[in-house]
Chain A
Amino acid sequence: MATTEPKANDEPIVLDDAIIEGAEKLSEEDIAQVINDMIRTEGGARFKAYLNTCMSCGYCSGACHYYLSRDKEPRLAPAAKVKQTLGEFVRKKGRVSRETLMRSCEIAFTDCNLCRRCMMYCPFGIDVAFLMLFVRRVCHKLGVVPRYIQDTAHSHSATMNQMWVQEDEWIDTLQWQEDEARDEIPDLRIPLEKEGADVYYSVIGPEPKFRAQLIYQAAVLMHAAGIDWTMTEFPGWDNSDMCMYTGDIEMTARLKKVHFESALRLRSKRIVMGECGHAFRSVYDVGNRFLGWKMPPIEVVHAVAFYDELLAEGRLKIARKFERPVTFHDPCNIVRGQGLHEKARSVVRQSCETFIEMEPNREHNFCCCAGGGVINCGPPYKNKRVKSNRVKAEQLMAAREKGAEVVIAPCHNCHGGLEDIIHHYKIDIEIKFLIDILFECMEK
């Protein structure tokens, strides 16, 4: 059996047929019009300030896992990614070629996870994620978007969830998991459409689609902690948002509106969401702003903070700690996004015997390289994704050498990304969600 690997050069090549098809329909005038409109309207002062303030000091380079993992390839430095895309847009007054547009699309969608690590090291706090999202927004408006992630965005607009789940299938899945869980806990319920509950629980599309055990486990945890909770049977149950990453902010606003409104309609006290990073960013930071709210109109609590609260209040009790040594991966969107790193560690320490830190950690942690919609751009970019995160592999290997057998990652995209890294670099470590650990260790 022989496997033909793609050529091991790192030269930029556009692989995605949807990017090519989209660009072929455009003239230079079309491209210039959209770019210049965008710079004038949505770009505004922030765009100008960021572009004019960067003095190419290079601090961002050392912060970027792409740059570090690919032998300090200069074009992968965050400032260079901006220069190759927006720098060209400005320099040419919007009149860039289709090739530049396609190349910009690929850089913004697949050479940056919008993880904001570089922003933290930038002396001026320039938000490269904002700038790369600006490029994506231009691409979205021009219809030049990688095929896999655009399919997911289409699913969002057609079904209000990311995986083409039909309304009856959603309800059927919840009732099925309720039935399966009742074999273990006879009086367990997954309450639907309950008004005035303390907790409105929402998840992301892949949970009902393929990983229904996560809903089962959440229901058991809610039962054990005696939580007054509900889910909705209508669209709005999916808190995820790939439109936020394709640059389709109109769709993001619609999705978040449906989500918030279903919780408000049920007069829930707050929203608790499952272990997902980008969904949290979309609900806690981005989508609320697109809708005109500085903060969400109803309190939003990520699963990690919720578990910590339940343990602190004694509502959730650990029967026996998880024995195998664990390490913890900090997802960007909940750590740099809301600072949940200490709460996460508190949960891990309370539920696991041995906790080994990865270095660097907390807000300095490296991204999984799946985030920011990069894994959602699908198979054409997988090899690049794993090659561009050798630093994460090295972090994991070091934790493994110190004895860690399990890496806990409370985020779906991190799971996908770390799984690919573990396979590629042949690291003998298992990935779990935090709820997998709690489910195993808590008093039920």
Chain B
Amino acid sequence: MPTVEFEGNTFAIDEDGFIDSFENWNKDWVQYVKQQEGIDELSEEHWQVIDVLQDYYKKNGIAPMVRVLSKLTGYKLKHIYELFPSGPGKGACKMAGLPKPTGCV
């Protein structure tokens, strides 16, 4: 598995750029993905999405539907895509340290 060095961390990543394991996630990873995704500024709102994704993943072992994400954060669908231009399944899951969702994504 390829690795990336970032701020003194060594992260192992798969070919889609997702972290090898949720266990290895830390806050520096978020900064790394922010660069990769071309997001200018991380806001409280990004962090809220990350928290919800991680909480849901710990309980269910899968990424939530965007509907659930919207309900738990209070953001409309459009706003979630503004925060994460590559979408909840790619950008947001990647940042939160979840594996790449399976399916046609």
Contact = CB atoms under 8 A, between A and B. Distances in A.
Most A C-beta atoms less than 10 A away, residue of B2, B65, B76: B65
B101 A163 contact: yes
Contact of A213 (B3, B78, B89, B101): B78
Given A206-B89, A383-B15, A376 B103 contact: yes
Contact of A379 (B18, B32, B65): B18
A276 B6 CA distance: 38
Interface string B13-40: 0111010000000000000100000000
Interface in A199-241: 204-206, 208-213, 216, 240
Interface in B90-105: 100-105
B47 interface: no
Nearest to B62: A164
Contacts of B88: 210
Given A172-B67, A380-B15, A210 B105 contact: yes
Contacts of A1: 4-6, 32
Nearest to A277: B104
B87 interface: yes
B5 A209 contact: no
B65 A206 contact: no
A52 B66 CA distance: 51
Interface string B51-85: 00000000000100111101000001110010000
A163 B103 contact: yes
Contact of A5 (B2, B6, B66, B89): B2
Contacts, number: 101
Nearest to B18: A379
A298 to B, nearest CB: 24
Interface residues of B, number: 29
Given A180-B76, A210-B89, A379-B15, A152 B67 contact: no
Contacts of B102: 148-149, 151-152, 155, 163, 376, 378
Interface in A145-183: 148-149, 151-152, 155, 162-165, 169, 172-173, 176-177, 180
A381 B65 contact: no
Interface residues of A, number: 46
A206 B2 contact: no
B4 A412 contact: no
A379 B66 contact: no
Interface string A293-322: 000000000000000000000000000000
Interface string A177-197: 100100000000000000000
Contacts of A209: 65-66, 89, 101, 103, 105
A380 B76 contact: no
A361 to B, nearest CB: 24
Given A4-B2, A6-B2, A180-B76, A413 B104 contact: yes
Given A1-B5, A3-B2, A162 B100 contact: no
Given A162-B103, A205-B104, A382-B15, A212 B66 contact: yes
Contacts of B4: 1-4
Nearest to B76: A180
Most A C-beta atoms less than 10 A away, residue of B4, B77, B104, B105: B104
A176 B15 CA distance: 34
B64 to A, nearest CB: 9
B67 A240 contact: no
B15 A205 contact: no
Interface of A: 1-6, 148-149, 151-152, 155, 162-165, 169, 172-173, 176-177, 180, 204-206, 208-213, 216, 240, 242, 276, 278, 375-376, 378-383, 412-413, 416
Given A4-B2, A165-B65, A176-B70, 18 more contacts: A4-B3, A155-B103, A169-B68, A208-B67, A209-B103, A210-B88, A210-B101, A212-B66, A212-B67, A213-B77, A242-B103, A278-B104, A376-B102, A378-B16, A378-B102, A381-B15, A413-B104, A416-B105
> Nearest 10 pairs between A and B by C-beta?
A379-B14, A382-B15, A210-B89, A379-B16, A151-B102, A173-B67, A4-B2, A412-B104, A379-B15, A163-B103
28 contacts: A1-B5, A3-B4, A4-B4, A5-B2, A151-B102, A152-B102, A162-B103, A162-B104, A163-B101, A163-B102, A169-B67, A205-B103, A208-B67, A209-B65, A209-B101, A209-B105, A210-B65, A210-B66, A210-B101, A210-B105, A216-B77, A376-B102, A376-B103, A378-B102, A379-B15, A379-B16, A382-B15, A412-B104
